[in-house]
């Protein structure tokens, strides 16, 4: 249930999410250069596809989020990447809703940015594929855990009656935490082998992977 539908959340929660996403997107747009657009577009397309596969679990469902990988590759630029992906999903497949778009984007994009900064710290401690995989595993677990927490808060702040549902969502997404953690670690190791230039001088302030010295 990472895509909250129309009519579920209260107006204050919706407005807060919309404002937060607008702020994050504004920061990201200031950091995007022309050469960044293809990378953001490719990641956005991957997010669009990955989020389409839903697995029902009780009253909710889980699906790939991929926000750890998006955060590592894009930093703040994960905001517009998720915004475009979720907007198209809302229009084309009715996943989520337009009024809830801000909340849906914020609760996955903010953990992606956190993951980006956390990854910067972790990769300084080692250069091996093993350490990269461990770093990716941690980032994947943290990103999804933060997303689930934000999802729970958005429901609880809407109405107390959502408390039990929030607990069920937490339990249901424990499996997703492990899946995303493993997938993130695997993808980072794979990307380093096939496209090592992505890991050249990771610059956090630029919000992306650029530079001249290999990690």
**Could you read off the pLDDT of 129-149 as tens digits, one per residue?**
788 888 889 989 999 989 988
Tell me, what's the pLDDT at 187? 87
Indicate the pLDDT class of residue 1, thresholds 50, 70 and 90.
low
Q: CB-based burial of residue 50 (10 Å sphere; 0-12 exposed, 13-18 middle, 19+ buried)?
A: middle
pLDDT in tens, 163-194: 666 666 766 677 788 888 998 889 888 888 88
Tell me, what's the pLDDT at 153? 85
- Domain map of the chain by residue range? 11-210
Alpha carbon distances (Å) from 111 to 66, 159, 201: 11, 24, 22
pLDDT at 33 over 60: yes
Tell me, what's the pLDDT at 35? 84
Alpha-carbon gap, residue 171 to 169, rounded angstroms: 5
Mean pLDDT, rounded, for 80-98: 87
- DSSP 3-state assignment of 191? helix
Across the chain, mean pLDDT equals 80
Rounded to two decimals, the pTM is: 0.82
- Higher pLDDT pick, 36 / 202: 36
CATH code for residues 11-210: 1.10.1760.20
pLDDT at 67 over 80: yes
Alpha-carbon gap, residue 23 to 106, rounded angstroms: 10
C-alpha triplet 34, 36, 40: angle, nearest 5°: 125
Q: Where are the beta strands (DSSP E) in the chain?
A: 54-57, 60-63, 200-203, 208-214
Tell me, what's the pLDDT at 157? 80
- DSSP 3-state assignment of 116? helix
């Amino acid at each position: 249930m990472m895509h909250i539908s129309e009519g579920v959340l209260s107006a204050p929660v919706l407005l807060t999410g919309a404002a937060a996403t607008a702020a994050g997107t504004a920061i990201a747009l200031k950091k995007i250069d022309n050469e960044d657009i293809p990378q953001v577009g490719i990641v956005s397309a991957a997010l669009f596809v990955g989020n389409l596969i839903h697995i029902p679990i009780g009253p909710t469902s889980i699906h790939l989020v991929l926000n750890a990988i998006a955060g590592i590759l894009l930093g703040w630029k994960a905001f517009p990447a998720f915004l475009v992906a979720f907007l198209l999903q809302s229009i084309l497949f009715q996943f989520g809703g337009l009024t809830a778009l801000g909340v849906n984007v914020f609760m996955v994009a903010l953990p992606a940015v956190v993951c980006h900064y956390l990854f910067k710290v972790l990769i300084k401690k080692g250069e091996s594929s093993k350490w990269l995989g461990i770093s990716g595993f941690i980032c994947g677990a943290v990103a999804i855990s933060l997303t689930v927490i934000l999802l729970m808060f958005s429901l609880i702040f809407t109405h107390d009656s959502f408390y039990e549902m929030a607990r069920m969502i937490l339990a249901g997404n424990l499996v997703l935490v492990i899946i995303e953690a493993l997938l993130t670690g695997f993808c980072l190791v794979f990307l380093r082998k096939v496209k090592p230039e992505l890991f050249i001088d990771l610059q956090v302030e630029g919000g992306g992977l650029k530079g001249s010295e290999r990690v």
